[in-house]
Homo-oligomer: A and B are copies of this chain.
Amino acid sequence: MKKMAATQLVNPDLVKERQNAAFSPEHLTYFLYGGPEKTKRKRFLQNLVIEGVKKLGVKQYATVSREEQYEQALQKYAYLVDTERQLGITNSTDKALLHEAVFPCESFPYILQYAAFINPFTMLASEEQKAKWLPLMKNFRLVGTYAQTEMGHGSFLRGLETTATYDPSTQEFVLHSPTISSIKYWPAGLGKTANACIVMAQLITKGHNYGMHAFLLQIRDLDTHQPLSGITVGDIGSKFGLSANDNGFLKMDNVRIPRNNMLMRHSRVLPDGTYIEPKNDRLMYGGMTSIRTDVVGVASRRLCIAVTIAIRYSAVRRQSEIEPGAGEVQVLDFQTQQYRLFPQLAAAYATTFASTTISAFYRTVSPHIERGDLQELPMLHALSAGLKAYTSWTCADGVEVCRLACGGHGYSEASGLPKAYVDTTAACTYEGENYVLILQTARYLMKCCRMLAEGEQVPEVMDFLRPSTSETSRLDARLVMGDLIQAFAHRAARMTRDAAQSMQTSIVKGENPGQAWNSNSVQLVAAAKAFTELHVVRVFAEAVETMRGSLRHVMESLWRLFAVNNIVSSLGDFLVDGYLSTQQVSLLEPAQRDLLKELRPDAVSLVDALDFPDGVLDSALGRWDGQVYEALYDYSLRSKLNEKQVLDAYLKHQRPFMESQWKKHAASAVTSRL
């Protein structure tokens, strides 16, 4: 246990937990990070920047104001980029590890510089444009973001109101925000940090509207950083989370930009105003898919962090007795605590494997798409949309369960859990609102149903939709993995077919396709969730099946808990058509309780294996050494309200109020000592 320096006092309950594990957490860590060498590098990189950030003298995120959080994020980002360049880091795994360690569950103002400024620019700009501007972007002469959503308009692109009207007389586009609802709103880093952005606007030329197009717009002077003429820009104000990010607004008052600032790889406007159509408008898909795939990973990591904090704390925290007079027990010994936390532990691993798998799939398919082979695109799109929604929901809910399971102290920002929650729940909305996304997955399911009905081929992963020979489950007390998976497959298929059937019925009743889609959308959402859950159950099982020995044993139990827990929490889905019998169901709740008991001794090691350094957990409760009360007290002492013993607010508001009350009303003598 090299992390336990000889001088570091570790809480004895945690020592005992670590001694009792039936498997080697280090081996699981290797599995997760790709072997001993990569694990070593991960640790080296994360520890390096955690120490580096300490040397910058920044204060703990939770102890400073939003303005200071923003300022510190600028400072930390500069350090991060310097470090990356010094180490010559270019691969995305290393970058993600560094980001996680410098901004643990925190956003930062430059977050879209690559993801949604340089990347879409690269996809949308002509070669000439790239040659001119990419160097400026990559070297931070241009700091940018992606200005698409408006106050009144989100995911429905055609509804956007911003206009880009071509003026052939000056060969310029006139960018304009015609209404208050058309003000660009929410883009990360737009408020104070960016000096440029990609603006999505309705292209109007020769009196005709050609729809959404992308334009490069400079918004601030590159030297003075003052907003340019016609530009009103600023921060949108405090949010639930993402506090260090200056999500911004942008109002354009007839701002003129050169014709060449329209990004012209796909469509073009000639000097005389003639519009040239794009050859293929499906190429934007790839970028969205990439970002959504990243969201799956981010959400999953947040749940991994939260469950590490909650399980370690629950091993340290002693509260109440199980047997009267036998002394207070570790709260992790309470069945209700296990029932709250272990399913989150299972979900943390499940989503981790789901993230790894979808990323690998994206990397495989991406080159095909780039060379114009779009065959796998619909499947990739459906799966990444579904997983983004499923994972952000599951992980946000899971983080909150972990927070609540830490009682009062979970409510303190010292726990790191509020921060983890607000950033995870944001992922339910950004990069495609979850209901909008999961309905895209449902649309693909409906398409596959139609294809099968018409005798067409569907991708192998959709084979579960084929009519099954068995309409009842073989599940028995052994809870065989295959039988459990089959239950998820059966449910997803039944719900998909039921939704397709309901759609058909609505159309027969005279609804048009749009109405029918809407009046069945609750069912469609449920079907798409069931499909996505099937996928997650499968990829988790596939990962477990490659493991051996004691590791295999504990991970198979964790997988089984994930499966059983998800069946029990939607039991009606499995019972309603008689697929599971009452008798089979009666096995599940006792099995769930047995699994909780079985996993109890390995719980701390299962979170240790996730291998988060304290600097990433950023939590008084989740510390490796379990010295939680010392850390909590230390945090409290740093509260800004403690900078003075007697606050100005006391002298200004409390003292005069008290005096006015007791002088007016109290007949009793004034005393200064009880």
Contact = CB atoms under 8 A, between A and B. Distances in A.
A216 B674 contact: yes
Interface in A433-470: 433, 435-436, 439
B515 A239 contact: no
A4 to B, nearest CB: 21
Interface centre among A138, A140, A193, A512 (most CB of B within 10 A): A140
A83 interface: no
Contact of A645 (B227, B236, B645): B227
A8 interface: no
Contacts of A237: 62-63, 412-414, 635-636, 638-639
Contact of A328 (B75, B159, B225): B159
Interface in A233-251: 234-242, 246, 249
How many copies the complex holds: the figure is: 2
A418 B239 contact: yes
A672 B512 contact: no
Interface residues of A, number: 164
A653 B74 contact: yes
A504 to B, nearest CB: 15
- Listed from nearest, the 5 A-B pairs whose CB atoms lie closest are A571-B572, A78-B657, A235-B641, A71-B649, A240-B418
Contacts of A426: 411
A63 B239 CA distance: 10
24 contacts: A67-B649, A70-B647, A74-B653, A136-B671, A185-B408, A185-B636, A193-B654, A223-B672, A227-B645, A237-B638, A239-B413, A240-B411, A321-B514, A322-B514, A322-B515, A336-B525, A411-B429, A570-B572, A571-B572, A571-B575, A571-B576, A572-B574, A576-B585, A578-B582
Contacts of A183: 629, 633
A218 interface: yes
A412 to B, nearest CB: 5
Interface in A206-256: 216, 218, 221-227, 234-242, 246, 249
A44 interface: no
Interface in A397-446: 400, 403-404, 407-408, 410-414, 418, 421-422, 425-426, 428-430, 433, 435-436, 439
A627 to B, nearest CB: 9
Contact of A672 (B221, B439, B656): B221
A646 B236 contact: no
Contacts of A517: 322
Interface in A6-42: none
Interface stretch (A46-54, A603-611, A662-670): A662-670
A146 interface: no
Nearest to A131: B668
Contact of A404 (B340, B428, B647): B428
A60 to B, nearest CB: 9
Nearest to A597: B519
A636 B187 CA distance: 13
A329 to B, nearest CB: 9
A185 B415 CA distance: 14
A336 B139 contact: no
A518 interface: yes
A398 to B, nearest CB: 14
A562 interface: no
Contacts of A221: 672
Given A136-B671, A156-B319, A159-B319, 9 more contacts: A70-B647, A75-B652, A151-B629, A159-B318, A191-B639, A242-B411, A246-B641, A572-B585, A577-B582
Contacts of A656: 78
Contacts of A670: 141, 222
A119 interface: no
B225 A666 contact: no
